[in-house]
Amino acid sequence: MGSLENRVFEHDVMEIVQTRWSSRAFDRERKLSEEDLGAVLEAATYAPNCFNEQPWRWVVARQGSPAFEAIVSTMTPCNQAWAPEASVLLVMLSKQTFSYNNQPNRFARFDTGTAWGYLTLEAQSRGVLAHGMGGFKPDELRNRLGIPADFEIVALAALGYYGSPDYLPDSVKAKEKPNPRKPVVEVIFTPEI
């Protein structure tokens, strides 16, 4: 499940956090099982969220389906170089209004991010690689998939089982290591009070 290069932990945080990183190398022989797919979506469903609105929505596209091809066609070349080998592509949508009063939900994107966090950690616990992508054309994707205006298209994700990076083009293979992170002290904001 990848090396731990670039990752040194100060605390004994959960193994699924320590080992997770956004690889681009899938096991191309294995389709994502319905059980694993169902479990990662169910874990996402239990993310905390504002007023229990659950603003997240998922387009789930299996490799080879028309939706899968449409999603790939709207990706940047950088993502097209590896993501089409995923077993499943997700489109993450976020409902922009609260259902109980039709007012704007300013937590919609934040809550969808939380659900994505739950999804990725449940995935990691199952040996499933879940890699998010921001590089795509949302307007084009909206047209291709018929996404209603009230749903923001937030991000894409590629899902499948971890595999060897051998098959990847060199340009992608060169990225196959975890990114480092800032020390926690750098993301603490000390208020003027």
Binding residues among 85-114 for a second copy as defined by CB under 8 A:
91, 93, 106-107, 109-114
Nearer to a second copy, 20 or 165 (CB): 20
Kind and range of the H or E run holding 34: helix 34-45
Give 166: exposed, middle or buried? Use CB within 10 Å, 0-12, 13-18, 19+.
exposed
Rounded to a whole number of angstroms, the minimum distance from the CB of residue 146 to a second copy is 3
Residue 115: HSE in the Cβ half-sphere, 13 Å Cα cutoff: 27
Nearer to a second copy, 70 or 159 (CB): 70
Query: According to CB under 8 A, which residues from 150 to 189 bind a second copy?
Result: 151, 154-155, 179-182, 184, 187-189
Asked whether the beta carbons of 164 and 24 are under 8 A apart, the reply is no
Phi and psi of 173, rounded to 5°?
-55, -35
Is residue 41 part of the contact set for a second copy (CB under 8 A)? yes
Query: According to CB under 8 A, which residues from 46 to 65 bind a second copy?
Result: 46-48, 50, 52, 54, 56-61
End-to-end Cα, the chain, rounded Å: 44
Nearer to a second copy, 129 or 168 (CB): 129
